[in-house]
């Protein structure tokens, strides 16, 4: 099984949690990591669409790894999806490149898990916040794998970072079709 991890962080130099998770992915066999902001900066016009589509085609599982940014993907990841998931490639007539592949969102949030609950400040769970990503995956025929969310990600101590790393490593090693290793 080959896994593609697409990483996006609007301020990668300030990243602690996403950077730690990226390093876990880079240490795994059969995992390819592409960090959008390192490859393309903030210029969405620089995205090499053919290279990104080839990377997706070579994978069985695709993970988008990013901090939840105002209850959404990062701006670069949104631009990336708009450009890479094209009509005729990802969907529409002949567009079956992603069909049958797994998609999983792995995200960090600065807020607590309670904030992302019906009783919390935003009155929505992380699953609900991520519903556009789920809808997109299902629309193009992908299998949507339960997301993996890490809360209170700002200012983590080393023990919390280690727990996060271990959980993500187990997730990456889980077989296709499993919901995830927790």
Terminal CA-CA length for the chain: 19
**CA of residue 125 relative to chain centroid, distance:** 17
Contact 104/91 with Cβ under 8 angstroms?
no
Report the alpha-carbon distance of residue 43 to residue 39 in Å, rounded.
10
Element (H, E) at 67: strand 61-67
What's residue 180's pLDDT?
60
Which pTM value belongs to this model?
A: 0.95
Q: What's the CATH number where 168 sits?
A: 3.40.50.360
Report the alpha-carbon distance of residue 14 to residue 53 in Å, rounded.
28
Residue 148 pairs with which residues in a beta bridge? 106
Please report, in tens digits, the pLDDT of each residue of the chain (182 residues total): 999 999 999 998 889 999 999 999 999 999 999 999 999 999 999 999 999 999 999 999 999 999 998 999 999 999 999 999 999 999 998 999 999 999 999 999 999 999 999 999 999 999 999 999 999 999 999 999 999 999 999 889 999 999 999 999 999 999 888 876 55
What's residue 2's pLDDT?
97
Structural domain tally of the chain?
1
What's residue 28's pLDDT?
96
The reply to whether 178 falls in a domain is no
What's residue 181's pLDDT?
54
The reply to whether 180 falls in a domain is no
Element (H, E) at 137: helix 131-139
Decide: helix, strand or coil at residue 105.
strand
* Residues of the domain holding 70: 3-173
The reply to whether 111 falls in a domain is yes
């Amino acid at each position: 099984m080959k896994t593609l991890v697409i990483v996006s962080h609007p301020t990668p130099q300030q990243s602690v949690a996403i950077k730690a998770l990226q390093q876990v992915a880079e240490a795994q066999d059969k995992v390819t990591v592409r960090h959008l902001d390192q490859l393309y900066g903030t210029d969405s016009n620089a995205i090499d669409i053919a290279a990104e589509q080839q990377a997706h085609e070579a994978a069985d599982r695709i993970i988008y790894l990013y901090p939840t940014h105002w209850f959404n993907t990062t701006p670069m990841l949104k631009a990336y999806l708009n450009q890479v998931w094209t009509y005729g490639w990802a969907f529409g007539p002949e567009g079956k490149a992603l069909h049958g592949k797994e998609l999983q969102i792995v995200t960090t949030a600065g807020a607590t898990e309670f904030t992302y609950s019906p009783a919390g400040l935003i009155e929505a769970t992380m699953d609900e916040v991520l519903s556009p990503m789920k809808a997109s995956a299902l629309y193009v025929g992908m299998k949507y794998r339960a997301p993996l969310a890490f809360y209170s990600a700002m200012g983590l101590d080393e023990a919390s970072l280690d727990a996060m790393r271990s959980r993500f490593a187990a997730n990456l090693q889980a077989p296709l079709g499993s919901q995830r290793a927790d």
